[in-house]
Structure 1
Amino acid sequence: MKKQRGAALVVVLAMLTMSLMLGLSGMQASLIDERLAGNYKASAEAQMNAELGASEFMAWLQSEGWPTTSSEKKSWDGHAALAAAGIRYEIIEPVDWDSVADSVGVRVKGLAGQDARAFIDAVFNRVPPSLINANGAYTCYGTNCSVSTGSGQSSSSINGYDHVVGDAGCSIKGKNTPELNPNGQDKAGLIILDGVYSEGGAGDNIDGDPPVVSSTSSYEDLAYTGGVSVDEAEAELDKFIDDLLSSGKVSMNPGQVSGLSNIAYAGVDNTIEINSDSGGIIILEGGTLEFKQGNTCFAGLVIARQGIDGSDAQVIVPPSIDGQGTTAIVGAVVGKSMEYTGSGTPSVYYSSMALDKFAGGSIGDSVSISMWQND
């Protein structure tokens, strides 16, 4: 009997030992699983924070604008503003602005817990805005185009040779002609396919490559039109205006324009006044652009088409530009069925730089991604 009881006790103790070992093993496995889960969670959080940092860097580029000078790039301190509360990521310096033109490389370290780290290497590219193609200093498509400038004593100018503007815009005070751009792309002076042009004052000076384009066939023979027909060019102008008006970036309150990044609009019975050197884009949809002061200059793009007066008769109203004094538009004018008059000696000078810096700058760049790599 005693032997049986002893054997039973041994069996019970063995079973208890096995149960204890199984329990300890299970606890150990649970701790390991918990630790692995914690490590995985921290790694996942670090990865997400690295992606957050790269995404916020891209958003910064889109909202703040692309640095354009070496000093702007060197003085960039966006990592301080971008760092999220709780130090979720770091922008690894230096940010590589100069590896490729109009691109920037950035390395972001995502943080989580005490030790979890993840890295993303990204390259973002500047995508300039798409502007309407200006093939001359002054272009008027459609019927009833009218250009009559220069009733002053000196000579007006419509000049399609490429001209230079500075970072501060254009200024013609003390002179009436901006400098030529030796690296530019020259365009036609005046493109007027169905309309009239009259000289005034001391006689107008139209120049360019060529000076005047007055027929559809001559227009479509121009090498720099890219084979686009007149009808296609008119359709592109309409679409460009429509896209701008639906972008939410246009100031619909006409009045005085100042500064260098305007996108201003004037409809029927509305007037935009230029009283000081300024720049950007002006949209005339049956509206009027007036230069009120002598020696004022607008750098950028003026685009125009007819508007509807809103009456029962739905009268079509042509846009108009009136230049008083010795004023200038440096960039380009592209419109349909518009009128250009001047009681002074207004001028229009083509400038690819003005179109890029001030017309394009008013719309703003977009950003594309050429590399997004986990490390």
Structure 2
Amino acid sequence: MKPRFSSHRQGGAALIVVLILMVMATMFAVTGLQGGVTNEKLAGNYRAAALAQMAAEVGASKWVSSSNIEAGGGACGVEALNASEADWVSVNNKGDASVWYKMVPCEYESVKGKAVFVRGRVSSGGHDIAVRDIIVARDRPEGVLPAEGLPDGIFDYALLSAGPYSYNPASRVSGDEKMNAGLVNVPDPRAKHPSDPSRNGYIDYVKKMMGEGGDVVESCGDGLGGVAATYIYCAGTFVGDVDEKMDGKILVAEGGIGNGKGANVKASVSAYLVSGGEINLKGFGDNVIKGLLWAAGSVSVKGRSNFQGSVVSNGAIDFNGKVFIDKASDNLEGSGATDGLVWKSL
């Protein structure tokens, strides 16, 4: 007798198989959807991270190309950034995400030059999606003095004066000279920056740095032994000597440098001497000053002297003795010396 197969049993088995296949297809679909969502999130996060990195690099690049670089007081890091009152700068606020950067001057490890901590961030709905940080520093070579805050072209001439130039016939000048140029053509250390009135003059720049706890010590001639600061600020007339303690320093004196008899130059030094009044120096003899003499008044050098760099005066220049001026100097940051750039993404 042949067995009989129920059509109902066959239909029930087919239904189970179809259900299993549908469950498997649903699982594959859900897995694929989850993978797509995950990939979309990863792509969005990657894009946000790239935009934050771009914003940080925009800020860092602006700092590198700026000639008005402020000194920093604290160590480079998030604490310095949070303590800063600087504004966030918009890079691109189109769409549903905002891209910003913020930078703060700081001090980075053993780098001798200036440094900046830059954060780029992407935010949406009041929340940060991604942040990226960069530290950029200019590692100034040994013996090179900083040019931050100085006006453009300050080192263009060996001699530049608004008034007349008198000299001993035995004197020699190697480099371009421009005399009786008029006040409008000669930078004044007391005045606003000639090409950008929003920028402070050089003396105010150093005073601001001092007020912010920067690399400045206040002295008008006493107590300079062992001073590590690069800048020396004097609110009156500097009456000290130009000696080995001045090597690698920038002296800024609001009242003047040297009294009526002139400051003694007792050693060869690399230095910038900047005065809101006159600069009066005695003869150097065999000593050499390398750098910058810049006065709002006249510049007077008495006796045999050697100078390498630039002499800039808003008054007259008077060399009463055999004076040798050579514009070429490797210690002038503004005359072609370049900094080693440190660029570190965190």
With the shorter chain as reference, the TM-score category is 0.3 to 0.5
Give the TM-score of the pair, scaled to structure 2.
0.42
Ranked by relative contact order (alpha carbons within 8 Å, sequence separation 6 or more), the top structure is 1
Give the TM-score of the pair, scaled to structure 1.
0.39
Give the structure with the higher percent helix. 1
